[in-house]
Amino acid sequence: MESLTATVGTAAALFVGTNLDDMLVLAVLNVSSRANGQPKTWQIWAGQYAGVAVLVAVSLLAALGLTVLPENRTWFLGLVPLGLGLYKLLVAVRAHRSGEQPSTAVAAGLASVTAVTVANGGDNIAAYTPVFRTSSAGDVAITLGVFAVGVALWCAAGSWLVSHRKITQTIGRWGHWIVPAVFVVVGSYIFYKAGVLGFCRVS
């Protein structure tokens, strides 16, 4: 019993510690969903589960000694949110100049939500791999179960964060600037963590 409790506690701490920044991404995806209907709520949930599944699969392979993505190449993942953010900022600027109301949608479907999830969580692989390498098959199964519950809680929290009236009003007025700006920040943060901006890499 003590072993089970310890494994669950470790898995929960691992999930929370490596996915705090993902809460911001989920909030932005829900902003986009409420404002434009894209991505749909089910696509956000499914994309999160698919993205985390990819990260876990890569970590498990790495734990077995197979290198899928070299650590010094993780910065490539930052191109996904950065590219999306810059594109939507360009669209917002053009719409502002023409007097139109731009869309806040950044991820338009399941594939793009999954891609953003994987990109934002690329550095999680470095944290998951040693845990999986030193865990028994039973402990890995428990950890995956905790992760599954964690994704559900994260998705629910991301939706709740943007459910208040003041937040909704802010979204309606400034969302077309806020959403792409957040994705630019996320992409830049991934570059920073990978050490490509000239700073020390954050582990």
Mean pLDDT of 151-155: 95
Q: Is the pTM of this model over 0.85?
A: no
Report how far residue 185's alpha carbon sits from residue 29's, in angstroms, rounded to the nearest whole number: 15
Residue 37's SS3 state is: coil
Kindly report the number of other CB atoms within 10 A of residue 1's CB atom: 5
**Average pLDDT of the chain?**
78
Residue 200: pLDDT over 50: no
User: Lowest-pLDDT range, 61-70, 99-108, 116-125, 129-138?
Assistant: 99-108
Structural tokens at position 162: 């943007």
Report how far residue 54's alpha carbon sits from residue 45's, in angstroms, rounded to the nearest whole number: 14
Q: What is the pLDDT of residue 15?
A: 92
Helical packing angle, 110-120 and 165-194, nearest 10°? 50
How would DSSP label each residue in 128-160?
Answer: HHHHHHTS-HHHHHHHHHHHHHHHHHHHHHHHH
Report how far residue 106's alpha carbon sits from residue 176's, in angstroms, rounded to the nearest whole number: 10
Residue 198: pLDDT over 60: no
* pLDDT grade for 42, boundaries at 50, 70 and 90: very high
Mean pLDDT of 69-75: 60
Q: What is the pLDDT of residue 202?
A: 44
